[in-house]
């Protein structure tokens, strides 16, 4: 097994682009890891979207998510490096030169530090401590720097005691004031107590390093396996769709051939009719000419003999003869369109596909100050709103909410599909959704579809859809960003967890009747616990 030191080597946590420890690491489809900002900047500066490491190209540009496991490991590694950097190496402490504080010109190396005098002495200046009786009682130790840090900042006395209650070094006067009644022990006693635990602590640290090292190996192995699985899935999926495309193309060619065959048969039949009709017309024209000639002749015998033959009707009756064209394939087209819709439904079962298609209908919203409750504060760009510390003295406005901390967007909708995202991170209570333009704004009315509102929210730690009656919503993780998708014609309002791209809840069979507006409810801000703003987030552009 690889050693912990090799597994925790810095190279494993360095971004190949910036060569720094990962910040918000993301994984490309080929399995390589980069800082989110680094790879996005790299792709923005290039005409080709490819991996900087293996040069594999991607089309379209993939939507990358933060690799949470690698992010946590990188953060832990940063902490480990900082701790290591802030913990002096014992060998360095031994060899570090502490200079004498008494020497005035050339500073000699100190041999002892006095905690009573708070001074470090060289061999010459330390001599009185060896000889003078009162100085012999001072507390001495090997040379150390920063002796001032061992003084109590409040009482300017040496910190000789340790408060186990507050885990702080204190002086004798602190024991009688700020730490009165606390558990106090001599500094040396606490040192001995901690030193007794040192071996167990080191062993525990090594055990944690080992477990994390093994976890790194496990995760790297899983990533390798997942990469191979992804390649197999990609190959199999491409093959299925290629087969489907070939199947459709083959059937398209067969349908075109059937249409051509039917047309040729009808054309051939029609041409036969045309030939017969033209022949009969020629015959009739010939009879007409003969009759004309006979009528001008004085040969009565010939006229009477020929007239019955020339006046005899032709045998075929063309009144019931038609060219029946059966070239309509509307039923086939309808069935194919249904197949297309079914494929769309199948693909939209993948949350990434569903989210991408909804984002194609993203709209740019801004908050309407004329509708905002009097204590709400809207940012200058109109994208954020939060509860202010006091109510503002605002002029009356029929559009303004006067009971609760609510506000609407400026933009309203009467048709089509639209989508937007709202950040609710940090809020303990909130409501978001859609309301009709005529929604009640001056009275205390329960919001629901019956009163012209289609909203969800968080209240007392419970997520709910405010239907008739309210429906409790179960989510896997706490919501931080909510996506709202509306199909006005179909009467559907759907809510999604943007981070996990999962569906939360949908109102169906909605009858809007009038213009609808995005709604934002901030709820009460008791003791500042619900002070976080609601933010209209920019929707990432689909590739």
Residues 6+ apart with CB under 8 A from 90: none
Position 7 confidence tier, pLDDT thresholds 50, 70, 90: very low
| pLDDT grade for 290, boundaries at 50, 70 and 90 | confident
**Structure tokens belonging to residue 276:** 């017969």
pLDDT at 5: 43
> What separation in angstroms does the CA of 463 have from each of 6, 478, 519, 541?
46, 9, 17, 29
Q: Cβ(185)–Cβ(161) under 8 Å?
A: yes
Q: Name the DSSP class of 68.
A: H
> 367: which DSSP letter?
B
In angstroms, rounded to a whole number, what is the distance separating the alpha carbons of residues 494 and 354?
12
83: pLDDT confidence band, cut at 50, 70 and 90? low
Residue 287 backbone dihedrals phi, psi, to 5 degrees? -65, -40
pLDDT of 91 reads 47
Question: Which of 100-109, 191-200, 230-239 is most confident?
Answer: 230-239
Give tens-digit pLDDT for 246-261: 988 998 898 888 888 8
- The confidence score (pLDDT) of residue 68 equals 79
What pLDDT, on the 0 to 100 scale, is given for residue 410? 94
Q: Quick one: pLDDT band at residue 82, thresholds 50, 70, 90? A: low
pTM here?
0.54
DSSP string, 16-27: TTT-SB-SSEEE
With pLDDT > 90 as the criterion, what percentage of the chain qualifies?
Answer: 29
Round the average pLDDT of the chain to a whole number and report it: 85
Asked if 139 and 186 count as a contact pair (C-beta separation under 8 A), the reply is no
- pLDDT greater than 50 at residue 278: yes
Pick the range with the lowest mean pLDDT from 92-106, 107-121, 262-276: 92-106
Question: Which of residues 139 and 86 earns the better pLDDT score?
Answer: 139
Task: Answer yes or no: is pLDDT of 63 > 80.
Answer: yes
pLDDT bin (cut points 50, 70, 90) of residue 4 is very low
Distance CA 236, CA 478 (A): 35
Number of neighbouring beta carbons within 10 Å of residue 273: 13
Pairing verdict, β 161-163 and 516-521: unpaired
For residue 481, give every residue at least 6 positions away whose Cβ sits within 8 Å of its Cβ, in sequence order, or none. 421, 422, 423, 424, 425, 497, 498, 499, 537
Residue 342: the pLDDT is: 87
Relative orientation angle of helices 187-295 and 300-311, to the nearest 10 degrees: 160
The reported pLDDT for the residue numbered 540 is 85
pLDDT tens for 21-59 read 888 889 888 888 889 999 898 888 888 888 888 888 888
User: Does 500 or 297 have the greater pLDDT score?
Assistant: 500
What's the pLDDT score for residue 188? 84
End-to-end alpha carbon distance in the chain: 44
Residue 9: the pLDDT is 57
> How far does CA 163 lie from the centroid of its chain?
48
> How many angstroms separate the CA atoms of 65 and 36, rounded?
8
Average the pLDDT over 392-419 and give the result: 91
DSSP, residue by residue, 371-382: GS-TTEEE-TTS
Fill in the DSSP letter of residue 263.
H
pLDDT higher than threshold 70 for residue 110 = yes
Query: How large a percentage of the chain has pLDDT more than 70?
Result: 94
- pLDDT, tens digit, for every residue of 213-238? 888 889 989 999 999 998 998 999 89
The first and second tokens of residue 185, run together, are 């022990």
| 488, 414 contact by CB (below 8 A) | yes
The predicted-structure confidence for 420-479, as pLDDT tens digits, reads as follows 999 999 999 999 999 999 999 988 888 999 999 999 999 988 999 999 889 999 998 999
């Amino acid at each position: 097994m690889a050693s912990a030191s090799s597994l925790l080597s810095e190279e494993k946590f360095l971004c190949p682009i910036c060569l720094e420890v990962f910040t918000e690491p993301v994984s490309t489809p080929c399995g390589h890891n980069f800082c989110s900002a680094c790879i996005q900047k790299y792709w923005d500066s290039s005409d080709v979207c490819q991996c900087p490491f293996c040069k594999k190209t991607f089309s379209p540009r993939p939507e990358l998510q933060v690799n949470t496991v690698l992010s946590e490991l990188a953060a832990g590694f940063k902490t480990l490096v900082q701790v290591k950097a802030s913990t002096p190496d014992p060998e360095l402490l031994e060899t570090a030169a502490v200079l004498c504080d008494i020497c005035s010109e050339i500073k000699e190396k100190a041999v002892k530090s006095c905690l009573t005098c708070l001074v470090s002495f060289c061999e010459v200046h330390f001599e009185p401590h060896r000889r003078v009786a009162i100085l012999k009682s001072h507390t001495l130790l090997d040379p150390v720097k920063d002796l001032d840090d061992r003084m109590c900042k409040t009482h300017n006395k040496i910190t000789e005691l340790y408060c186990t209650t507050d885990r702080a070094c204190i002086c004798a006067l602190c024991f009688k004031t700020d730490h009165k009644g606390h558990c106090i022990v001599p500094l040396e006693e606490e040192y001995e107590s901690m030193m007794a635990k040192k071996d167990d602590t080191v062993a525990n640290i090594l055990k944690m390093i080992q477990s994390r090292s093994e976890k790194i190996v496990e995760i790297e192995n899983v990533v390798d396996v997942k990469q191979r699985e992804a390649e197999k899935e990609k190959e199999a999926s491409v093959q299925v769709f290629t087969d489907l495309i070939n199947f459709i193309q083959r059937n398209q060619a067969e349908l075109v051939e059937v249409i051509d065959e039917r047309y040729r048969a009808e054309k051939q039949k029609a041409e036969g009719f045309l030939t017969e009709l033209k022949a009969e017309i020629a015959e009739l024209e010939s009879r007409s000419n003969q009759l004309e000639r006979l009528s001008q002749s004085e040969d009565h015998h010939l006229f009477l003999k020929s007239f019955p033959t020339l006046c005899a009707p032709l045998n075929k009756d063309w009144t019931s003869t038609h060219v029946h064209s059966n070239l309509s394939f509307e039923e086939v087209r309808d069935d194919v369109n249904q197949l297309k819709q079914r494929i769309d439904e199948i693909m939209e079962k993948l949350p990434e596909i569903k989210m991408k298609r909804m984002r194609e209908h993203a709209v740019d919203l801004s908050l309407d100050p004329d509708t905002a409750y009097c204590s709400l504060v809207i940012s200058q760009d109109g994208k954020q709103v939060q509860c202010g510390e006091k109510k503002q003295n605002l002029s009356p406005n029929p559009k303004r909410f006067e009971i609760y901390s609510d506000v609407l967007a400026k933009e309203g909708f009467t048709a089509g599909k639209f989508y937007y995202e709202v950040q609710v991170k940090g809020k303990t209570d909130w409501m978001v959704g859609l309301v009709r333009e005529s929604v009640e704004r001056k009275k205390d009315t329960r919001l629901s579809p019956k009163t012209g509102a289609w909203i969800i929210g968080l209240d007392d730690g419970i997520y709910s859809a405010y239907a008739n009656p309210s429906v409790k919503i179960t989510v896997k993780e706490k919501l931080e960003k909510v996506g709202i998708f509306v199909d006005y014609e179909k009467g559907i309002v759907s809510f999604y967890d943007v981070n996990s791209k999962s569906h939360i809840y949908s109102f169906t069979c909605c009858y809007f009747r009038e213009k609808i507006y995005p709604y934002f409810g901030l709820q009460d801000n008791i003791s500042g616990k619900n002070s976080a703003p609601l933010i209209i987030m920019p929707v990432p552009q689909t590739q």
